[in-house]
Amino acid sequence: MNVFHYRVAGFLLRIEAPQGRDLPARLKNLAPFFQEGDFTEEAPLFTLQLASEPLPGAFEPFFKTEDGPGFPEIAISRRPDAFRFRFSALPGRPVAGTLDTSTDFRQATLALEGVDDVFALNNAMMLQFAFASALEGALEMHASVVVNGGRGYLFLGRSGTGKSTHSSLWLKHIPGTELLNDDNPVLRLEKDGTVRVYGSPWSGKTPCYKAMDCPVGAVVRISQAPYNRIERLSLVQAYASLMASASSFRPFRDLSDGWHRTLESLAGKVPCYVLDCLPDREAAELCYRTVHG
């Protein structure tokens, strides 16, 4: 058996593959997070085993995503001791992989169908990471994040509202800015009470896979408008803004409680803003002047 270790947001991840199956080693997005060494003394956040044949067992249908055309489709089913996830790259497309997990998401097996193995493995890892870390103070965020002055600035918003555009404006007009991740950074509430943002192996359409982290400077929700204006959010508004962009799933009650505890802490520790803006230099400079202090 081939064993691969990765470290994402400080957590050790373990992937086991049958001899001759080197898919994890061929994924460029995973390479910066690869770990060499003996990890027998450290328990991984999760172990994901790649199956050599289809998975047996009967499950009861539970939930199916309905994000619409252009978005992946995930069908979830369950039984008392496990959950099953079936991934399709688009609605109506063939299933690319079937993931069976323990109820705490620490152990899982992925059967690849040969349709799109890269898509299936990446989505299985993202899902298992989000759920296994739910009680560990970590949140996968749908956000674009830049680093400036040693601090990370997250830009939130629905798809198409200009998160990546605003990051690109910072990169172009704010000296010393670097892109950390353009789709799925990880926010983590550390044991000492500080909040850090981590790059991850998943960055949407932008190939930005950096095993870096830094303290969070601010979180800014982007909203399109015919003018530029920024406002700091109240504690309740900050909580709602963070929750809207966090990868979570309410039907998993225990995990949902963990996510909400983390969100409550983050909302009280991280300055959160809403930026009504045009896609221009003035918006980037206004945002920088306001949040960088």
- Token pair 């962009």: residue: 245
pLDDT value for 122 = 95
Q: State how far the Cα of 181 lies from the Cα of 25, in Å rounded to an integer.
A: 21
Reported as a single tens digit per residue, the pLDDT across 61-99 is 988 887 777 788 899 999 999 999 999 988 888 999 999
- Please check whether the domain covering 138-291 is classified as CATH 3.40.50: yes
What residue spans define the domains of the chain? 2-132, 138-291
pLDDT value for 28 = 95
Query: Going residue by residue through the chain (293 aa), what tens digit of pLDDT does each one get?
Result: 889 999 999 999 999 998 777 888 889 999 999 999 889 899 999 999 998 777 788 899 988 887 777 788 899 999 999 999 999 988 888 999 999 999 999 999 999 988 899 999 999 999 999 999 999 999 999 999 999 999 999 999 988 889 999 999 999 999 999 999 999 999 999 999 999 999 999 998 899 999 999 999 999 999 999 999 999 999 999 999 999 999 877 677 788 888 999 999 999 999 999 999 999 999 999 999 999 86
**Cβ neighbours of residue 57 under 8 Å, at least 6 residues apart?**
79, 82, 84, 100
**Cβ neighbours of residue 92 under 8 Å, at least 6 residues apart?**
73
pLDDT value for 251 = 73
Q: Which of 99, 139, 136 is nearest to 119 (CA)?
A: 99
pLDDT value for 11 = 97
pLDDT value for 179 = 98
Max Cα distance, the chain (Å):
58
